[in-house]
Amino acid sequence: MNIENSLNKLNEMQRQAVVTTEGPLLVLAGAGSGKTTVLVNRIAYILQNTYARPWNILAITFTNKAANEMKERIEKLIGEDAKDMWIGTFHSVCVRILRTCIDRIGYRPDFVIYDSADSRTLMKECMREQGVDEKVFPVRGVLSVISNAKNDLMDPDMFERVYGKDMRSAVIARLYYLYQKKLRSNNALDFDDIIRFTVNILTDNDDIADKYQARFQYILVDEYQDTNNTQYALISLLAKGYGNICVVGDDDQSIYKFRGANVNNILDFEKDYKNAKKIMLEQNYRSTSNILNAANAVIAHNRKRLGKNLWTAQVGGEPIITYEGDSDRGEARYIAREVRKRYTQTGKWSDCAVLYRTNAQSRAIEDAFMYEAIPYKVLAGLRFYDRKEIKDVIAYLRLVYNHSDDVSFQRIINEPKRKIGAATIDKIRRHSAEKDISNFEVICNIGEYPDLRSAAPRLSAFAAQIKEFRKLAGILDIELLVQRVLNDSGYIAMLETENTVEAGTRLENIHEFMNVVREYMMDAETDGSLGGFLESVTLVSDIDDYDQTQDCVVMMTIHSAKGLEFPVVFLAGLEEGLFPGSRSLENKEDIEEERRLCYVAITRAKEQLYITRAASRFRYGKVTPALPSRFFNEIPAEQMKDASSPAVKAKSMLRKAGVEIVPEKRNMPVYERKKPVTAMEGPVFEKGDRVRHRKFGDGTIVSAQQVGRDAILLIDFDNAGAKRLMAAFAKLEKI
């Protein structure tokens, strides 16, 4: 390993951030300024100079994607030593600590982690038992309040003491008590508990705190501006040993207040660590100067910031193209036309990304893309791991791993159908609550409960099967175990017997899940255990599922785009009340966060940025006029080029002059179609046609639905099963 060659490629400020190893360091890293390069080289520099051994280094990121990228780049620099470092997300690092010491707070080391869907299921059960109406207390809202409390390190007792006098909060406090009680009885943690419990154990147990403070001589934290109060407390505790804490972040990109992120953590870093040094990375390697000048102009209107100014050697570049559509549909049609024009020039769809403030904006754009036969993917739709069949399989594995997991038990007890009805499950729940034991323990002692006698044979058979799987988990590798679970439980047979298009799709998803299992088994850094595998699939985020090699336009909210970059970005819906959102208009801090969000969106673009808006938009069931966002007006006019039609420009001038423009009626057809045609003017496919696909082989078209210039084909392939394909891109051959 020769780090000097790598250091020579850094600019002066990056180099300073790498070689300043001792004491607290704040690296204020602007968008596209090479912060990951700095973190990777800093770790390599520490090891090269033997300031510490690999296992004495802790590097924390926010996504698995970022953690894996860091691991790969460090391995290229230093080789096998990288495997001994602790590099991971906050959650994965805390889970690793908890596996060794969670018994201090009364949990078993084989705890499971509940994702948001599991948490909702558990909370609904709590509300049922407490007689709380979900219409008055929406489940998501209750869980959000509890999550915020946990991020402030408030347990149910403290929450009740602080907020219990308020009637609504008093109800939530009762639910919080019961929710935590059920989590504990299930030997389960939700996402917030993972970090909160780690902080509690380190705070209350000096021996454990001393162990990790002595171990981690150097701590590096990425995206520090996104840390919440529990994450801040965790880092502060671990850094007490050596004080060598390096945080990298950008206060101008703090956009997760709704998740509990506290921008003051980075703003006050120099107050928290009196001898801290600050190094600013302002040279941007991603975008042209026109794009950066626009970003700088917008963010300069925020008062609560440390202050920096991005610059680049890529002087000039294309002007920012702006467009005002007469409606949200007009805006969408323009975006689609420009995407297709770009494709004819480059031959790549994936160069383009469409960003928007809210998911609801995607529908009009999706309609336009389908009409133009443009392949696209919406990020943060239904995740792979949120699909029913995948959650079912994971529930089986979790119950095998942890018999106390009542949420998983109730999900699969009658999946596939075992003639175990809701009344029987309610009885199991009641006995479980009365004896303070798990649902699974109830059916393991079925003879003690006369009211379950009629279902006893089926319940006993299920219990025996889960116990058998538990034995196999200690003998077989995970791939073979999952195959046995799928086959012996009857899950695969159920889908094969159903023999529908939907069942075929679910089987495909299960086959893909097996690929996930195999990839986990092939990863040399995993321990190959069932517990480790369940952790890996539970802690996956939306962005980790994003396949950047897929050639299609990607659509996503701006929040989801954080950390990504694209040659061409369309920033849609820059209208007052939409972006910034109407809820933020009364609060200066919220407006500043919205402006940071706009800054993030602008700096995702490398070569070309489009900013679009609509003169009127269909919202809340009616067409309403829309005004340009204040952020649009904060961009210097010389950076922009207006591509709006003359008619729309004229209407805009009239609006500015105070003339009322009546929005178009919504009952007009979305698109005028003179005749159905295919995108490439190729063969027209009909129901019953036999076709051949280069990957899936021969099949029969079950249905053909015309969509604009393309058609959606449902094809039943002889060997590959049912597939939905766009005719223009399937490259089908009639046979």
How many separate helices (H) and strands (E) can be counted in the chain? 31, 22
Tokens of 70: 């860091």
* Residue 104: closest CA among 210, 241, 203: 203
DSSP string, 45-92: HHHHTTSS-GGGEEEEESSHHHHHHHHHHHHHHHGGGGGGSEEEEHHH
Single out the catalytic residue among 333, 429, 595, 604.
Answer: 604
* Position 629, amino acid: S
Cα–Cα distance, 155 to 390 (Å, whole number):
32
Cα–Cα distance, 456 to 472 (Å, whole number):
24
Cα–Cα distance, 233 to 10 (Å, whole number):
33
- Whether the CB-CB separation of 430 and 402 falls below 8 Å is answered with no
- Whether the CB-CB separation of 290 and 316 falls below 8 Å is answered with yes
Q: Give all strands of the β-sheet with 721-726 in edge-to-edge order.
A: 721-726, 710-717, 697-707, 690-693, 733-734
Signed CA dihedral, 185, 189, 192, 198: sign only = positive
Q: How many CB atoms lie within 10 A of CB 168?
A: 12
Single out the catalytic residue among 198, 253, 322, 612.
Answer: 253
- Whether the CB-CB separation of 202 and 212 falls below 8 Å is answered with yes
Is beta strand 112-114 parallel, antiparallel or unpaired with respect to 640-642? unpaired
- Whether the CB-CB separation of 210 and 430 falls below 8 Å is answered with no
Single out the catalytic residue among 118, 190, 192, 223.
Answer: 223
Long-range interactions of 598-601: CB distance < 8 A, separation 24+ = 598/298, 598/558, 598/571, 598/574, 598/629, 598/631, 599/31, 599/252, 599/253, 599/295, 599/298, 599/299, 600/31, 600/253, 600/255, 600/558, 600/561, 600/562, 601/355, 601/558, 601/561, 601/569, 601/571
Residue 35 among the catalytic residues: yes
The string over 533-542, giving b where at least 16 C-beta atoms fall within 10 Å of a residue's C-beta and e elsewhere, is bbbbbbbbbb
Signed CA dihedral, 725, 726, 727, 730: sign only = negative
* Position 77, amino acid: L
688 class by beta-carbon count within 10 Å (0-12 exposed, 13-18 middle, 19+ buried): exposed
Q: If residue 466 lies in a helix (H) or strand (E), which one and from where to where?
A: helix 456-473
DSSP string, 159-175: HHHHHTTSHHHHHHHHH
Q: What is the largest CA-CA distance in the chain?
A: 82
Cα–Cα distance, 44 to 75 (Å, whole number):
9
SS (H, E, C) 546-565: CCCCCCCEEEEEHHHHCCCC
Q: If residue 238 lies in a helix (H) or strand (E), which one and from where to where?
A: helix 229-238
Is beta strand 640-642 parallel, antiparallel or unpaired with respect to 320-325? parallel
Single out the catalytic residue among 81, 115, 193, 222.
Answer: 222
Residue 253 among the catalytic residues: yes
- Whether the CB-CB separation of 410 and 459 falls below 8 Å is answered with no
How far apart, in Å, do the first and last CA atoms of the chain sit? Answer: 58
**Partners of 701 in beta bridges:** 715
- Whether the CB-CB separation of 572 and 532 falls below 8 Å is answered with no
1 class by beta-carbon count within 10 Å (0-12 exposed, 13-18 middle, 19+ buried): exposed
* Position 54, amino acid: P
Single out the catalytic residue among 16, 20, 21, 36.
Answer: 36
- Whether the CB-CB separation of 247 and 269 falls below 8 Å is answered with yes
Report the catalytic residues. 35-36, 222-223, 253, 604
